[in-house]
C-alpha cells in the first residue's frame, strides 16, 4: 500500500487551504473553505444560506441514507440499496420488485415505500450557550449528561409542539464542545417510482461491494407526497406530489478528470479524534466480534432459505445489511493493521503528552486525560464478552424476543418520573415505534427466527462463569430440555409472531405484562434486570468518556489551534474534491471512470454478474441515445472523486462546480476502509453512479423517458 502522504498530525487537524480535500463540514463552516480557489463557480450562498432556500434544501435524509429532489414534482433520486428494503417489503414471490425491478408509468401506479420517511432541513442554529448553561456548575459527568438531555428534550418538544410534520434534533459536536439544533420538515408518504432490476442495481453483488472498478447501476427513484395543504402526512389517496422550492438540475456537459465536485448528504458516524485506546478496542474486540457474528447469521440465513424463495425474500434486507457492515468492518481491521494505525496513534499521543507535561499549567489540565480514558475502557473490558452476547438478544435473537424486550422496557421506563426516563422516550415516540412494527413483522420468517434464538441461547450458555447473563438459568440449566426443545415449545406457545397481539401489549403496565403467560414475554422479564445493569454501566461509561474526550479536544485546540470539522453524526454535511483515480498498490493505476463496456466484460450470466439481456442488446447495437461520452466512446457508468464520505452518504447527490447534478454516491473504495478513522489523500475515494448512466438506463433500458423529461434532463 502506498505510503500515506499526510502526517499523523493530519488525522486530527485540517489546515483550511486550497489543497485540502479532507472534511465533512457543517454547512455553517463552508464559507471558511475558500471554495472558489478550488474551482467552485456558484456562490456559497447558493449552496447554503440561512436567509433563503438553496441547494441544501433539495437534500433529504431517507431510508438510512440520502436522497435529493430532482424535479419540481417531488421526484427523489437515491441509491437502489437505500430503496432496497422498500422494494423488498413491497415484493412477493409473484411480483418480485427486487429481482425484476419496478416502474410506475402513471402517478396512480406509484406504490408505497413501506416504512420510509424523509427529512428536509429547514433551519439550523448553534445552541451551545443554552445547553451549556443548563449544566453549569455540575461536575459529575452522569448528572451533567442528564441535565443536558433534559434541556435538549424541552427545547425540541417546544419546537415540535402541535406541528404534525416538524422534527427537531440537537446534535452534539466535538463531544459537547458545540451543540447544533436542526429543524426538519418530515415527509411520511414516499412512493416507489422506478427501480432497475437487481441485475443492474446490485450488479456485482457482494463480490464487487466496496471495490473498484465498479459497474453497478445503484439508483432508484422515489416520490414525496404531502397533503393538499403541503403538510407531511401518512399515505393517503388524496395526497399530492410535493413541490420543492429547490430541486437539482442535471449537468449538460460531460464530466472530466480533475473536475471540481462536491457532495451534500447525511454521513453517519466517524471517529477521527479518538485515542489509541479506542482504536485498540475496536481493532481487537469490537470489529472482530461483529465480523464473526454477522458472518454466522448470514450463513444461517442462507442455509435455511436456499430452497425457499419466499424465505429468501423475507430475510433479504437483513442479510444484505449484515453483509455490507461485515465487509466494512473487515476492511477497517485490514486497513488498521496494514498501515500500523494503532502505533501511529500511540506515537502521536507521546508527542501530545510531552506538550501536556511541558508546563505546570498544562500538566494540571491535560496530563491525565489519556490515562483516565484508559481506566474507563478497563471497566468496560471486564464484562465485554457478556455484554456482546447480551447485545445479540436485543435484535439478532429473533423478532419475537426482541419485540417483547422492547415492549417491557417501554412499560418500565414510562413508569419512572419524567426526569429519570431515557432521553427522547415519550408516549408519542413509543406510539410511533409501535406503528412501525408492521415492517419488521412483514419480514418475519419462522425458521430463521427460531434458529437465531437457539444460536443466541447457546452463545449465552458458553460464556465463562464470571460473565453469565443472569435470567436465563431456567433455560440453560434445565437438564430435562435442550435449547432446541425450549425454542420449539416457545415458538409454538407464543403469540408474539402476531402483529396485532404485539400491538395490544404496548399499552399494558409492567405488572400486567408480568401476568401474561407467554414464553417470550417471560424471557423479556427475566432479562430486564441484567439489561438495566448493563445499560446503567454503559450510561456512566458514555458520560465519563464523552467528558474526557471533550477535554482531549480542548487540549488539541490549545496545542495546535487549528480549524477542525466535527466528526460525522448523521447531520447534513458538505465535502468537496476533484475527480481523480488512484494507485492502490505498486504498478497498479485505477482510472477514474468505468463504462458500460465493463458490464459486458464482467458478464457471466450467473448472479451477481448476470447482466440483463435487454442491456446487452443495447450495448451490442450501440443504442446509447445521447448518453455517450466522447472521450470514453461509451456510456459512462461510475466515477471516482476525492470527496470525504462515510455510511449515510449513500444516495447523496454529487454536483459539479456549477451546482449541477453529475451523479449519486453509492460506495467508497476498499483500500480506504479506515476512512472513519482517518482521511488518506492518496487512497480515499468516493464511488458514484454517473448521472448519464442513470438517465441512459431509465430512458433506454427502463423505457421511462417520461422521467427524464420530468427532470428536464434531455440532451
The tens digit of pLDDT for each residue in 163-209 reads 999 999 999 999 999 999 999 999 999 999 999 999 999 999 999 99
Tell me, yes or no, whether 310 lies in a domain: no
Judged against a pLDDT cut of 90, whether residue 421 lies above it is answered with no
C-alpha cell at 203: 450488479
Q: Render pLDDT for 633-645 as a digit per residue (tens, 0 to 9).
A: 999 999 999 999 9
Global model pTM greater than 0.75: yes
Confidence tier at 431 by pLDDT (50, 70, 90) = confident
DSSP of 255-283, one letter per residue? P-TT-EEEEEE---B--TT--HHHHHHII
Question: Which of 163, 187, 211 marks a domain boundary?
Answer: 187
Confidence tier at 423 by pLDDT (50, 70, 90) = confident
Helical ranges in 576-715 per DSSP H:
596-602, 613-621, 691-696, 705-710
Confidence tier at 17 by pLDDT (50, 70, 90) = very low
17 and 66 in a single domain? The answer is yes
Tell me, yes or no, whether 313 lies in a domain: no
What CATH number should be reported for the domain holding residue 646?
Answer: 2.40.10.120
Q: What is the pLDDT of residue 319?
A: 97
Q: What is the pLDDT of residue 20?
A: 47
Between 349 and 13, the more confident residue is: 349
d(CA 133, CA 149): 13
In degrees rounded to 5, what are phi and psi of residue 443? -95, 5
Q: What is the pLDDT of residue 21?
A: 65
Q: What is the pLDDT of residue 489?
A: 97
- Which residue has 446509447 as its cell numbers? 624
Q: Render pLDDT for 99-125 as a digit per residue (tens, 0 to 9).
A: 999 999 999 999 999 999 999 999 999
Q: What is the layout of strands, in order, in the sheet containing 593-595?
A: 573-578, 260-265, 653-656, 661-668, 686-690, 636-641, 593-595
Average pLDDT over residues 417-426: 81
Tell me, yes or no, whether 355 lies in a domain: no
Tell me, yes or no, whether 36 lies in a domain: yes
| Of 621, 664, 712, 659, the residue nearest 196 (C-alpha) | 664
Judged against a pLDDT cut of 90, whether residue 425 lies above it is answered with no
642 and 694 in a single domain? The answer is yes
Judged against a pLDDT cut of 90, whether residue 458 lies above it is answered with yes
Judged against a pLDDT cut of 50, whether residue 9 lies above it is answered with no
CB 109 within 8 A of CB 124: no
527 and 431 in a single domain? The answer is yes
Q: What is the pLDDT of residue 3?
A: 33
Between 369 and 20, the more confident residue is: 369
CA distances to 115, 264, 560 from 59, rounded to whole Å, are 19, 7, 34
CB 703 within 8 A of CB 245: no
Question: Which of 153, 171, 187 marks a domain boundary?
Answer: 187
Q: What is the pLDDT of residue 4?
A: 32
Question: Which of 554, 588, 604 marks a domain boundary?
Answer: 554
Confidence tier at 562 by pLDDT (50, 70, 90) = low
181 and 207 in a single domain? The answer is no
What percent of the chain is predicted at pLDDT more than 90?
A: 92
- Which residue has 408480568 as its cell numbers? 514
Q: What is the pLDDT of residue 2?
A: 32
Tell me, yes or no, whether 367 lies in a domain: no
Tell me, yes or no, whether 279 lies in a domain: no
Average pLDDT over residues 64-92: 97
631 and 657 in a single domain? The answer is yes
Confidence tier at 12 by pLDDT (50, 70, 90) = very low
216 and 72 in a single domain? The answer is yes
Q: Render pLDDT for 30-62 as a digit per residue (tens, 0 to 9).
A: 999 999 999 999 999 999 999 999 999 999 999
C-alpha cell at 105: 408509468
d(CA 392, CA 457): 10
43 and 182 in a single domain? The answer is no
Helical ranges in 357-426 per DSSP H:
360-366, 369-381, 384-392, 399-414
Confidence tier at 242 by pLDDT (50, 70, 90) = very high
Tell me, yes or no, whether 516 lies in a domain: yes
Confidence tier at 495 by pLDDT (50, 70, 90) = very high
| Of 380, 416, 359, 412, the residue nearest 282 (C-alpha) | 380
Average pLDDT over residues 140-166: 93
448 and 573 in a single domain? The answer is no
Judged against a pLDDT cut of 60, whether residue 18 lies above it is answered with no
Using the 8-state DSSP alphabet, how is residue 8 labeled?
G
**Cα 447 versus chain centre, distance:** 28
Mean pLDDT score of the chain, rounded to an integer? 94
CA distances to 157, 260, 569, 642 from 687, rounded to whole Å, are 39, 15, 21, 9
194 and 131 in a single domain? The answer is no
CB 459 within 8 A of CB 300: no
Count of domains observed in the chain: 3
385 and 481 in a single domain? The answer is yes
CB 488 within 8 A of CB 425: no
| Of 412, 407, 415, 408, the residue nearest 431 (C-alpha) | 407
Average pLDDT over residues 666-681: 95
Average pLDDT over residues 230-244: 97
Containing H/E element for 111?
strand 111-112
489 and 631 in a single domain? The answer is no
Tell me, yes or no, whether 312 lies in a domain: no
CB 4 within 8 A of CB 680: yes
Judged against a pLDDT cut of 80, whether residue 6 lies above it is answered with no
Range(s) of the domain holding residue 202: 8-117+188-269+569-710
Confidence tier at 434 by pLDDT (50, 70, 90) = confident
CB 249 within 8 A of CB 303: no
Q: What is the pLDDT of residue 13?
A: 37
Judged against a pLDDT cut of 90, whether residue 11 lies above it is answered with no
CA distances to 102, 416, 456, 659 from 714, rounded to whole Å, are 22, 59, 54, 18
d(CA 346, CA 338): 16
- Which residue has 496513534 as its cell numbers? 345
456 and 502 in a single domain? The answer is yes
Amino acid at each position: 500500500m502506498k505510503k500515506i502522504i499526510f502526517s499523523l498530525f493530519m488525522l486530527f487537524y485540517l489546515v483550511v487551504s486550497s489543497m485540502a480535500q479532507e472534511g465533512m463540514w457543517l454547512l455553517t463552516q463552508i464559507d471558511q473553505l475558500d471554495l472558489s480557489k478550488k474551482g467552485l463557480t456558484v456562490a456559497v450562498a447558493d449552496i447554503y444560506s440561512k436567509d433563503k432556500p438553496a441547494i441544501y434544501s433539495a437534500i433529504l435524509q431517507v431510508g438510512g441514507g440520502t436522497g435529493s429532489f430532482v424535479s419540481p414534482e417531488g421526484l427523489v433520486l437515491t441509491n437502489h440499496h437505500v430503496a432496497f428494503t422498500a422494494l423488498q417489503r413491497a415484493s412477493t414471490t409473484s411480483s418480485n420488485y427486487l429481482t425484476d425491478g419496478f416502474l410506475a408509468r402513471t402517478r396512480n401506479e406509484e406504490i408505497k415505500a413501506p416504512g420510509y420517511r424523509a427529512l428536509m432541513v429547514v433551519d439550523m442554529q448553534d445552541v451551545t450557550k443554552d445547553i451549556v448553561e443548563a449544566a453549569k456548575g455540575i461536575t459529575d459527568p452522569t448528572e451533567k449528561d442528564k441535565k443536558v438531555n433534559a434541556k435538549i428534550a424541552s427545547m425540541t418538544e417546544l419546537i415540535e409542539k402541535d406541528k404534525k410534520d416538524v422534527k427537531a434534533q440537537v446534535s452534539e459536536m466535538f463531544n459537547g464542545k458545540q451543540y447544533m439544533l436542526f429543524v426538519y420538515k418530515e415527509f411520511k408518504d414516499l412512493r416507489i417510482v422506478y427501480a432497475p432490476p437487481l441485475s443492474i442495481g446490485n450488479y456485482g453483488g457482494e463480490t464487487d461491494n466496496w471495490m473498484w472498478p465498479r459497474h453497478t447501476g445503484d439508483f432508484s427513484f422515489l416520490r414525496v407526497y404531502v397533503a393538499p395543504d403541503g403538510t407531511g402526512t401518512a399515505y393517503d389517496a388524496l395526497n399530492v406530489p410535493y413541490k420543492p422550492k429547490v430541486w437539482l438540475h442535471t449537468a449538460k456537459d460531460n464530466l472530466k478528470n480533475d473536475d471540481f465536485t462536491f457532495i451534500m448528504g447525511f454521513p453517519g458516524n466517524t471517529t477521527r479524534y479518538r485515542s489509541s485506546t479506542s482504536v485498540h478496542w475496536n481493532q481487537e474486540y469490537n470489529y472482530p466480534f461483529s465480523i464473526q457474528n454477522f458472518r454466522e447469521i448470514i450463513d444461517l440465513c442462507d442455509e435455511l432459505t436456499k430452497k425457499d424463495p419466499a424465505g429468501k425474500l423475507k430475510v433479504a434486507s437483513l442479510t444484505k445489511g449484515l453483509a455490507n457492515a461485515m465487509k466494512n468492518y473487515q476492511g477497517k481491521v485490514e486497513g488498521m493493521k496494514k498501515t500500523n494505525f494503532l502505533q501511529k496513534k500511540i506515537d502521536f499521543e507521546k508527542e501530545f503528552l510531552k506538550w501536556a507535561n511541558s508546563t505546570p499549567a498544562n500538566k494540571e489540565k491535560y496530563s491525565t486525560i489519556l490515562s483516565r480514558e484508559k481506566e474507563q475502557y478497563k471497566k468496560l473490558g471486564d464484562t465485554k464478552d457478556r455484554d456482546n452476547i447480551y447485545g445479540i438478544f436485543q435484535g439478532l435473537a429473533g423478532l419475537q424476543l426482541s419485540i417483547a424486550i422492547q415492549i417491557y422496557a417501554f412499560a418500565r421506563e414510562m413508569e419512572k418520573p419524567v426526569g429519570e426516563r431515557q432521553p427522547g422516550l415519550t408516549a408519542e415516540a413509543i406510539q410511533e415505534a409501535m406503528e412501525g412494527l408492521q415492517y419488521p413483522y412483514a419480514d418475519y420468517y419462522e425458521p430463521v427466527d427460531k434458529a437465531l434464538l437457539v444460536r443466541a441461547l447457546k452463545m449465552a450458555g458458553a460464556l465463562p462463569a464470571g460473565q453469565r447473563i443472569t435470567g436465563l438459568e431456567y433455560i440453560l440449566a434445565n437438564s430435562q430440555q435442550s435449547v432446541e426443545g425450549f425454542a420449539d415449545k416457545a415458538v409454538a406457545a407464543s403469540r408474539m409472531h402476531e402483529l396485532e397481539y404485539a400491538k395490544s401489549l404496548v399499552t399494558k403496565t409492567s405488572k400486567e405484562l408480568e401476568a401474561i403467560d407467554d414464553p417470550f414475554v417471560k424471557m423479556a422479564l427475566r432479562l430486564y434486570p441484567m439489561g438495566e445493569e448493563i445499560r446503567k454501566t454503559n450510561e456512566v461509561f458514555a458520560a465519563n468518556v464523552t467528558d474526557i474526550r471533550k477535554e482531549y479536544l480542548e487540549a488539541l485546540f490549545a496545542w495546535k489551534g487549528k480549524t477542525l470539522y466535527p466528526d460525522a453524526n448523521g447531520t447534513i454535511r458538505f465535502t468537496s474534491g476533484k475527480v481523480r483515480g488512484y494507485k492502490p498498490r505498486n504498478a497498479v493505476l485505477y482510472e477514474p471512470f468505468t463504462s458500460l463496456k465493463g458490464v459486458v466484460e464482467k458478464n457471466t450470466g450467473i448472479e451477481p454478474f448476470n447482466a440483463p439481456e435487454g442491456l446487452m442488446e443495447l450495448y451490442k447495437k450501440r443504442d446509447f441515445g445521447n448518453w455517450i461520452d466522447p472521450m470514453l466512446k461509451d456510456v459512462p457508468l461510475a466515477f471516482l472523486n476525492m470527496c470525504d464520505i462515510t455510511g449515510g452518504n449513500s444516495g447523496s447527490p454529487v454536483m459539479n462546480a456549477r451546482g449541477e447534478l453529475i451523479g449519486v454516491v453509492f460506495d467508497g473504495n476498499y483500500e480506504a476502509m479506515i476512512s472513519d478513522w482517518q482521511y488518506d489523500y492518496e487512497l480515499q475515494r468516493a464511488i458514484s453512479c454517473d448521472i448519464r448512466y442513470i438517465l441512459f438506463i431509465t430512458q433506454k433500458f427502463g423505457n421511462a423517458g417520461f422521467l427524464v423529461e420530468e427532470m428536464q434532463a434531455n440532451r
